[in-house]
Structure formats: C-alpha cells, structure tokens
Amino acid sequence: MNKLIRVLSATAVLPGAALATAGVLENGWAGRLPDPVATHWNSAPNGATPLGAFTGVCLALGAVAVLLLATTAVAALRRGRPLPRLTVGVGAGFAGLPPAVLLSVLVANLDAPDWHAARNGAVVVLFLLGAVVLGAVAALVGGLPAPPVRETPGDRPSVGLRPGQRAFWSGRAANPAMLWALALIPVAIAFLPAGLPWPTAVWIALVGAVVTALTYRLSATVDAKGVTIRFGLLGVPWRHLGLDSIREATTRELTTFGDGGLGLRFNPVTGTTAYKVRGGPALVLALESGRTVLVGVDDPETGAGLVNDLLAQRITRID
C-alpha cells in the first residue's frame, strides 16, 4: 500500500471515522436525549451541559486533533523522517478521545427523561478502551521506518583505524551552572517573602538535587561493541547502542535551547533523542531504524570517526 495512503488512513481516516460516527449518532439520537445531558458523575450524575454545546466542543476538539495529527504525519513523511508506530498509535489514540467521550455521554443519557436519570457513567471506560484499540490499529497501519539513506563514505569522519587495531574513545561534558543552581535553591527559598512550610522546602530541594544529579554530567564511550551514553553524576540513566544498530556517525553544533532544551529530550515527529547538558559540538548517530541520537560531548569528531571506522571494519569482516 502506498505510504501516503497508509499514513493518512492511520492519522485521518481512522480517527476521522470515529468522529463522524459520533456526530451521526448524536444527530440520529437527538430525539431520545435529554437537553441538557449529564456530563459529570460522582456515583450519580452531578453535572450537566447543553447537548449542542457539549457535542460541538467534542467534535471541534476531535477535528483539531485529527487535523494536527494528519498534517504533522504527512509533513514528517514528506521530509523523509521516521514515523514510529508508537508515535502514530499514541497520536491516533488521543485524536480518538473526543469522540469516545462524546459517545460515552450519549449512551449514558440515551432514553433518560432528564439528565438526573442518566445511567452510570462507567460506560466511558468501554469507549476509552475503544480509543486505545483505534490507536493500536493506527500504529499497525501507519507506523513507517525512515527510508534507508546510504551516503558516500568520503563524507564521514574517520580516525584512520587500520584492520586489526583496537580503539576506545571517551568524550564528556558537564554543566557547572547546574551545581550553582542547586546551591541557590535554599537561598531563594529563604528569601521568599511569605516563607514556605519546611516540608515543601525539603521537597523542592530534593527535586532540585535529583534533577542536578541526573543532568549535571554526560559522557559517551565508543568501543568495538558500540556506543554507551551515561547521564548524570551516577551514570544513570545510561543507554548502549550496539554497532549493528548504527548506520553512521557525524557531528553537529547544538544550541543550548535547541532540540527541546537541556536534559534528555525526545522528539516523536523527527525521531530524534538528544542528550544535552550544554550547547556546543555533539556526536550525531544515525540509526538503522531511521532515528537519530544526539550526544553533546567534547571532541565528537574523534568519536564519530571511530564509530565510522569500526562500522567499516565490521562490514569488511562480514563481506
């Protein structure tokens, strides 16, 4: 099936059909529904909204979600970006939420003389499960890996590793400003005019310490097995990318707040995961899956060169 048809089926047709079904049913059941309809429950119905307003809001939200999802997915497809199944599935599931909520409210209110007599709202669980199923189907239909791009080896960095040689590369980066920020948290709390209850202050300091521990330092190592990325003072979280999952390595200059900002960032549209504690040079790993991993560490040219040389040796050995 054509890729565009698959993507549009998953991101526009499926959630759009759910939205249209909800709209048609509301129209067909208009004579059997009270107005206003019960829209909030607390064991029994305890809140109502005019039928037209509730239906309009749900349909409008659903339409906006479908439009956003479909245009984003088609734009990603046109740019040759990957469309991971998880991303398509979660997106379609979210776009299916407004019709699911509308249908559950309509079913609960169907044939009730007024909103106080509406049935139990637990039926919403059933329709939410329906949205999950819709997301799963969309993921199966519309998830696409990026087209493999084979570039000329001449463009790639290299460290000139010869056959039989073994090598290890290590690069790191730190953000001392994070430590200063941690030191400033108690000072800032102390200077708050109204003061803070001590449990709140302790929680803020604790969260600050954890965030600092996770994002203060970053390191990457390359050896014959692949690339290992370690975050934070304790080296956790960490990630290992086997050589067989990497297509090539290059370098890039990152801005401090680009690619989602500092920390561990994932962009589901571009399929890019960024590990950053500062702006500046970064190792760029293009994966076989079509995704990209950015690691902001010092001397990334050497790391990228070693990855490419190890990949070239691996291909030579297999051939």
Partner 1 sequence: MLVHIDPSSTVPLFEQVASSLRRSLADGHPAPGQQLPAARELAKALEINVHTVLRAYALLRDEGLIDLRRRRGAVVIGGASSRARLAELAEDLVREAKRTGVGLDELTGVLKEKYT
Contact string 172-191 vs partner 1 (x = CB under 8 A):
x-------------------
Which of 162, 192, 194, 198: binder of partner 1 (CB under 8 A)?
162
Which of 25, 269, 299, 313: binder of partner 1 (CB under 8 A)?
299
> Three-state DSSP class for 219?
strand
Q: How far apart are CA 292 and CA 286, in angstroms?
A: 5
Q: How far apart are CA 243 and CA 310, in angstroms?
A: 8
117 in contact with partner 1 (CB under 8 A): no
CB-count exposure of residue 313 (10 Å: 0-12, 13-18, 19+): middle
307 in contact with partner 1 (CB under 8 A): no
In 3D space, the residue among 97, 111, 120 whose CA is nearest the CA of residue 44 turns out to be 120
Provide the token pair at 95: 């776009």
Q: Can the peptide bond before residue 237 be classed as cis, meaning omega within 30 degrees of 0?
A: yes
Which of 74, 90, 161, 204: binder of partner 1 (CB under 8 A)?
161
> Would the CA dihedral through 35, 120, 137, 61 be positive or negative?
positive
Beta bridge pairs of residue 287: 246
Give me the least distance between CB of 2 and partner 1, in Å please. 46
269 in contact with partner 1 (CB under 8 A): no
Which of 154, 164, 197, 242: binder of partner 1 (CB under 8 A)?
164
Which of 20, 63, 124, 167: binder of partner 1 (CB under 8 A)?
167
Give me the least distance between CB of 309 and partner 1, in Å please. 10
Q: Are 216 and 186 in contact (CB under 8 A)?
A: no
Contact string 59-98 vs partner 1 (x = CB under 8 A):
----------------------------------------
Give me the least distance between CB of 180 and partner 1, in Å please. 17
Q: Which C-beta is closer to partner 1: that of 115 or that of 169?
A: 169
Q: Tell me phi and psi for residue 214, to 5 degrees.
A: -80, -25
Which of 21, 71, 165, 255: binder of partner 1 (CB under 8 A)?
165
Which of 104, 251, 302, 308: binder of partner 1 (CB under 8 A)?
302
Q: How far apart are CA 220 and CA 303, in angstroms?
A: 9
Give me the least distance between CB of 298 and partner 1, in Å please. 6
Give me the least distance between CB of 158 and partner 1, in Å please. 12
> Would the CA dihedral through 9, 12, 18, 23 be positive or negative?
negative
Contact string 210-249 vs partner 1 (x = CB under 8 A):
-----------x-xxx------------------------
Size of the site for partner 1 (CB under 8 A): 20
Q: Are 285 and 293 in contact (CB under 8 A)?
A: yes
Q: Which C-beta is closer to partner 1: that of 110 or that of 161?
A: 161
Contact string 120-159 vs partner 1 (x = CB under 8 A):
---------------------------------------x
The CA-atom distances, in angstroms, between 304 and each of 26, 223, 251, 255 are 58, 11, 7, 19
Q: How far apart are CA 293 and CA 272, in angstroms?
A: 6
Between β-strands 272-276 and 263-267, what pairing exists: parallel, antiparallel or unpaired?
antiparallel
Q: Tell me phi and psi for residue 228, to 5 degrees.
A: -120, 130
What is the contact surface with partner 1 in residues (CB under 8 A)?
Answer: 159, 161-162, 164-172, 221, 223-225, 298-299, 302, 306
